[in-house]
């Protein structure tokens, strides 16, 4: 008879160890909803034992109640969009973060192929303050180099890098990927009528709606001006169309200009499945042609390549 513990016994021991650990340990599913959190994680982030919310709602809770993660920003939703644009895009990520109680954590995120994420944090408050400050400056510079300053989502360099990564995944492992090139309709007239401040509000609103519509694993970034790129790993053609339709509906119902509640805007998009036989740039040109077809057909729609 084998002396090895049964799977159930082993799982019980692992859970007991996690529950007793001072490490902050949590597991999020592919929809970024909390599925497990040990007592240390719940205490640090102000969660009750029976609360299993999404990561976005957890951050909203922390910001609203001034507990857990220290979030210092004048525009929380922009901060959230920026943070989510980096979350879950790599198999492993480590970064440092401070908490409202003055503690300092080294955070790690490990992503499984099915989209579940293991988050583990260790308290590093006792490390020298000047060393922490130096690393925080480094992490801040890393984020700034990959983030669009206006909208908080991925900038041109970062979203094109994510596109290249998915092209490699398609070539190496056959993982399908949908892409969409999006352009806000008649955006010049928005700037002309409501000024650049109004245009900025529309761009931020669209970025927020897109991030709220997309999954954690999806890439979304601003290429420049009013043009955005969406990268959707693991979807098929029908799912790609469904995502764009949901985004159309969200945008059509949005009122991004508080002083002009009757204002509405829309977008046009060209979309298709990433083709491994073409390089990433050629794939981008294909959906760009579909985007022009959507504009020529009357805008406020998407054209999905066959």
Catalytic residue, chosen from 109, 131, 226, 289, is 226
Q: What is the DSSP letter of 281?
A: H
- 226 included as an active-site residue: yes
Long-range CB contacts for residues 135-141, cutoff 8 Å, separation at least 24:
135/96, 136/96, 139/95, 139/96
Residue with tokens 């090139």: 181
Q: Which residue has the tokens 């009122």?
A: 255
Three-class SS of 94-144: EEEEEECCCCEEEEEEEECCCCCEEEEEEECCCCCHHHHHHHHHHHHHHHH
Strand partners, 188: none
| Of the candidates 304, 32, 283, 285, the residue with the CA atom closest to the CA atom of residue 163 | 283
- Using CA atoms, how far apart are residues 175 and 233, in angstroms rounded to an integer? 7
β-bridge mates for residue 95, sequence order: 107
Cα gap 6→272, rounded to integer Å? 47
Strands 267-273 and 302-304: parallel
Give catalytic residue positions. Answer: 226
């Amino acid at each position: 008879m084998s002396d090895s513990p049964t799977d159930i016994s082993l799982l019980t021991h692992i859970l007991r160890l996690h529950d007793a650990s001072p490490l902050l340990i949590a597991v999020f599913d592919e929809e970024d909803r909390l599925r497990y959190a040990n007592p240390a994680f719940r205490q640090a982030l102000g969660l009750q034992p029976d609360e299993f919310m999404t990561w976005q709602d957890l951050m909203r809770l922390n910001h609203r109640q001034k507990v857990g993660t220290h979030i210092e920003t004048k525009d929380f939703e922009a901060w959230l969009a920026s943070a989510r644009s980096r979350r879950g895009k790599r198999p492993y990520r480590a970064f440092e973060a401070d908490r409202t109680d003055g503690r300092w954590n080294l955070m790690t995120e490990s992503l499984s192929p099915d989209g579940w994420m293991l988050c583990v944090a260790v308290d590093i408050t006792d490390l020298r303050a000047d060393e922490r400050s130096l690393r925080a400056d480094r992490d801040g510079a890393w984020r700034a180099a990959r983030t669009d300053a206006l909208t908080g989502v991925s900038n041109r360099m970062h979203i094109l890098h994510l596109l290249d990564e998915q092209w490699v995944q398609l070539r190496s492992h056959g993982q399908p990927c949908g892409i969409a090139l999006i352009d806000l309709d008649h955006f010049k007239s928005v700037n002309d009528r409501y000024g650049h401040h109004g245009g900025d509000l529309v761009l931020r609103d669209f970025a927020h709606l897109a991030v709220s519509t997309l999954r954690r694993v999806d890439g979304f970034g601003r290429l420049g001006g009013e043009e955005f790129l969406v990268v959707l790993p693991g979807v098929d053609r029908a799912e790609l169309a469904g995502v764009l339709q949901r985004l159309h509906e969200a945008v059509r119902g949005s009122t991004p200009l508080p002083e002009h509640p009757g204002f509405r805007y829309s977008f046009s998009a060209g979309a298709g499945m990433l083709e491994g036989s073409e390089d990433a740039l050629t794939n981008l040109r294909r959906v760009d042609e579909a985007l022009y077809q959507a504009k020529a057909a009357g805008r406020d729609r998407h054209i999905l390549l066959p």
